[in-house]
Chains A and B, each alone.
Chain A
Amino acid sequence: MPRGGVLNFTSPIYYLFVLITWIVFTFVGGRRRWIVLLVASYLFLATFSQPAAILALAAVTIVTYGFGLLLRSRTDAREKRVVWILGIAINLALLIASKSTTVLFGAANRVLGIAPPPSATSWIVLIGLSYYVFQAISYLMDVYLERIPAERHLGHFSLYLGFFPKLLQGPIERAGAFLPQLAASPEADPTAIRQGLKLIVFGLFQKVVIADRLAVYVNTVYGSSGNYQGWPLIIATYFYAMQIYCDFSGYTDIARGVARCFGINLMLNFRTPYLSISVTDFWRRWHISLSSWILDYIFRPLQLRFRRAGKWGVAAALLIAFALCGLWHGFTATFLVWGALQGALMGLSVLLRGKWAALCKKARIPVWLPPDGLRMLVTFHLVCLSWVLFRSRTIHDAWYVITHFVVGLSPRNLPSAILLYGDSSALGKFIVTCALLAFFAAIELQRFRGKGLADFARARALRGAFWIGMCCMVLMLTLGSGSFIYQKF
């Protein structure tokens, strides 16, 4: 997997690149700004030294653009359907080929001991492919269903698929929201830039201060999970839950912040997901661009097909849709089971919906629901359990972790679990990490209540101090450095 070129989101060179692009963008007239962004996007991709990725993006762009225009020109429903299916099939074929070949190479390596040459991997694991192919599919679906008109401007369409802030890990934008912004010529006003800069700083805080330092512990434990039991597995699982959130949410905030500096709004990808009151609610708040894509383009058509089966049909549609969502992350058993588990939990809630109320009614007692706090706690732990599957290399490893959570869970063993954070500095790292997580939790609560990051402070100076503190933490409290988790999907 290509880890990232010189323009990694956490490298200073990336921000120099953004600054230079922004200066050129500002000096170029409104109607031609898309050219600056498109050139910057392809330059950005070129820094990964993967010619195949550039070719793939260009190919997907041209094919999808062409099929979009074809869909627009056809009036016959049957012809239209054929064009639509063909366009989607080409995109899916590329995605499946890329994902499955990696798995096949891995299997060949394991079984036959034949490792593919690195050059082969760089041709197959294409940067950002999963994200822009999903955008391309959603575009063709929307054009086919006449939700949006086909885009005529090839430059705008190319930028929709390849806009550099969202190229590597999304958000998976919808054409209906993105293309009108380009048509209206994006304008970077001071308010947008201010919002963008705040998002970038907060994104970096999540990634380099929280996610990367949690990764140090998580990688130690999950790297050889069979050696541990009890506390290390519990701590590593909680840490991983926060790591994956801060890693991905941090990336998204940086992407949204950079886009905002160019006057473009990217969609919100996370809304305090760990404060969800059910698994269904969690998926309304987690990786929103993917979950809404899954719901719109997989779940709803399936639901329509299974409508005669009533609630069971809905549950089955959820199960299939989220199993496929799992496979989108990678063609492995762990991802498949992880996705199916999400679908099963949601399906279960659909099947049980109304049953509880009916039971209370039958017993002639008022309908009682657990308080939201308790529901949040249960949902958070269900999600944490499912992350075990997501993080483990095999189902066997995941099963080992789940069955060894409570083995040797004595307070006496806690210090040695903390010392896994490293050497003699482990306790210091652990304490600072916990303090940072508490700080982050306070921010999440603030956001859950619909307030801004620094809204706790009324005085302007205090808000300024908050952002100075954030910048200092980004510069001074880094620990380890890693690539973004979702970049590999």
Chain B
Amino acid sequence: MRKLARDCVVVLAGVLVVLVLFTTAKFFASSVIAPSTSGIRGALRLKRIDYLFIGSSLTRQDYDPAAMERQTGKTVYALAYNGLNPEYMSKVVAYLCGLSDVSVGKVIIEVSPMSILEEDRLYDERLYFDAPYPLKIDILKLVARGSSDADRWTSIWDLLVTSSNDAVLSYPITCKFLDALSYHGGYTSMKYMPPMTRKEFASISEDGSAAGGRAERILEEAVLAVQQTLVRNRIAFTYVEPPIPITREHGPRFLAAKAALKALILPKGMTYVDFSENEFDSSNYEYFADSWHMSTKGRTVFSELIAERISAGKL
């Protein structure tokens, strides 16, 4: 039995050493091997960004930076992480504004009632992976704050130990592919998003699983934090709500959340552009790839609209 105990201790010690070494290396060096045409690293490489679109997967999928650049002659970058909510956005914005070698002309902040409906948590582990060391600390603090006591250690463990290991292990093979997949944070032609069928579009309804128990105070604080950081750094900004399928947008819970979101932003005198209300035909099923995101066709049409607004000085 003693020999067995000794062997178990040796294996456990070995596991611990590997875990600590790998996790530490990932903590300090993952931002160096992050994709260079999307996410934070891509933004840092540009130095000068005229229009920085920041938001969730809607921002990645609904905007075409290459098309907008062609139409406007400005540098456009889509900084997108899945489900990026105001809490995490405020940290990213604060980090970018704190850098002296990155200059941002205007920030277009994606607002979506989703951010009210969904839980306050980190949805995209790539944000942690891409984040340079000081931002990583802020993200970890937010994760620890947002999780309940029972989930706190699990969430931190997941982030530190299990997240993005596939990306690290496959880096030598995938780095070039990942860079080719994006241009200034948006998809290149390599990623084609097919449209939905008419039947699928008609079957979209409100997502009953979305949690509504979000603390308004925290959300308000985060929205204010983003605004204050940008004002302090004298960076202009506008809120834009990208269109989603009309079948989903007309749901009562979604409309209520939208009203709450507008009440949160509009009284502070901010510009709020709601594309789902006009200009864009969100009843056209061919413009959407799924119940939230645009198809390649929808993205082209929407990006043209945005570019026209930029050219006309309306955004």
Taking beta carbons and an 8 Å cutoff, which residues of A are in contact with B? 190, 193-194, 197, 415-416, 419, 423-425, 427-429, 431-432, 435, 464-465, 467-468, 471-472, 475-479
Give the Cβ gap from A91 to chain B, nearest Cβ, in Å.
Answer: 39
**Would you call A425 and B19 a contact (CB within 8 A)?**
no
Stretch touching chain A among B88-96, B174-182, B276-284: B174-182
A424 touches B35 (CB 8 A): yes
Whether the pair A468, B166 counts as a contact (CB closer than 8 A) is no
Is B170 a contact partner of A476 (Cβ separation < 8 A)?
no
Considering the chains assembled together, what is the distance between the CA atoms of A70 and B150 in angstroms? 51
B1 within 8 A of A: yes
Q: Is B28 an interface residue (CB 8 A)?
A: no
Residues of B within 8 A of A416 (CB): 191-192
Counting from the closest, the 5 A-B pairs by CB-CB distance are A468-B14, A428-B170, A428-B166, A431-B170, A432-B166
Is there an interface contact between A465 and B166, defined as CB atoms closer than 8 Å?
no
Contact check: which of B14, B167, B169, B173 meets A465 at CB < 8 Å?
B14
| Docked complex: B44-85 residues within 8 A CB-CB of A | 57, 82
Bound-state Cα–Cα, A468 to B11, Å: 6
- Whether A472 lies near B174 (C-beta < 8 A) is no
Which chain B residue shows the least CB distance to A460?
B7
Count chain B CB atoms within 10 A of each CB in A475, A477, A478 and give the residue with the most. Answer: A475
Contact B8 A197 (CB under 8 A): yes
Contact present for B174 and A431 (CB under 8 Å) = yes
24 contacts between A and B (CB under 8 A): A423-B82, A424-B35, A424-B38, A424-B126, A424-B181, A425-B126, A425-B164, A425-B167, A427-B170, A427-B178, A428-B170, A428-B171, A429-B166, A431-B169, A432-B166, A432-B170, A435-B169, A465-B14, A471-B15, A472-B15, A475-B15, A475-B162, A476-B161, A479-B166
A358–B167 CA distance with the chains assembled, in angstroms: 57
State in angstroms the CA–CA spacing of A478 and B178 once bound together: 22
Q: Which residues of B contact A427 (CB under 8 A)?
A: 170, 173-174, 177-178
A464 touches B14 (CB 8 A): yes
Which listed residue (B1, B19, B182) contacts A190, Cβ 8 A? B1
User: Is the CB–CB distance between B178 and A424 below 8 Å?
Assistant: yes
**B13, closest chain A residue (CB):** A468
Complex CA gap A477/B3 in Å reads: 29
Residues in B176-221 with C-beta less than 8 Å from chain A: 177-178, 181-182, 190-192
Contact of B174 among A193, A428, A435, A465 (CB under 8 A): A428
Which A residue sits closest to B3, measured CB to CB? A190
**Number of A-B contacts defined by CB within 8 Å:** 76
Are A424 and B182 in contact, with the CB atoms below 8 A? yes
Cβ-based interface call for B312 (8 A):
no
A419 to B171 alpha-carbon distance, docked (Å):
16
B10 close to A (CB within 8 Å): yes
Task: With both chains docked as a complex, state the minimum distance between the C-beta of A211 and any C-beta of chain B, in angstroms.
Answer: 16
Interface of A is mostly: helix
Counting chain A CB atoms within 10 Å of each CB, the highest count among B164, B174, B181 belongs to: B174
Cα–Cα, bound, A308→B97 (Å): 87
Which residues of chain B have C-beta atoms less than 8 A from A465's C-beta? 14
The answer, yes or no, to whether B260 is at the interface (CB within 8 Å) is no
A residues within 8 A CB of B22?
472, 476
Given contacts A190-B1, A468-B18, A475-B19, 9 further A-B contacts (CB under 8 A): A194-B4, A425-B167, A427-B170, A427-B173, A435-B169, A464-B7, A472-B19, A476-B162, A478-B162
* B165 within 8 A of partner (CB): yes
Contacts of A475 in B (CB 8 A): 15, 19, 161-162
Q: Taking the nearest CB of chain B, how far is it from the CB of A437, in angstroms?
A: 14
- From B14, B18, B171, B190, A415 is in contact (CB under 8 Å) with B190
Please give, as numbers and ranges, the residues of chain B lying within 8 Å of A194 by CB-CB distance.
Answer: 4, 7
In the assembled complex, the Cα of A473 lies from the Cα of B150 at a distance in Å of 24
CA gap between A467 and B14 in the complex, in Å: 10
Cα of A489 to Cα of B150 in the assembled complex, Å: 31
Bound state CA distance, A416 and B177, in angstroms?
A: 12
For the complex formed, measure the closest distance between the CB of A130 and the CB atoms of chain B, giving whole angstroms.
30
Are A476 and B126 neighbours in the complex by a CB distance under 8 Å? no
Residues of A within 8 A of B173 (CB): 427, 431
A415 to B7, CA, bound (A): 45
- Cα A475 to Cα B15 in complex, Å, equals 9
Complex-state Cα separation, A432 to B167, whole angstroms: 9
The minimal Cβ–Cβ distance linking A23 to chain B, given in whole angstroms, is 13
CA distance A479 to B161 in the complex (A): 12
For A415, the chain B residues whose CB sits under 8 A away are: 190
Q: B residues within 8 A CB of A467? A: 11
The smallest C-beta distance from B235 to any residue of chain A, in angstroms, reads 27
* Closest-CB distance, B194 to chain A (whole angstroms): 9
Residue of B nearest to A423 (CB): B82
Least CB separation from B158: chain A residue: A478
CB distance from A207 to the nearest CB of B (A): 15
- B124 smallest CB distance to A (angstroms): 8
Please indicate the chain A residues that have their CB under 8 angstroms from the CB of B162 in the complex: 475-478
Q: Which of A197, A431, A435 has the most CB of B within 10 A?
A: A431
Q: In the complex, what residue of chain B is closest to A432 when comparing beta carbons?
A: B166
CB distance from B165 to the nearest CB of A (A): 5
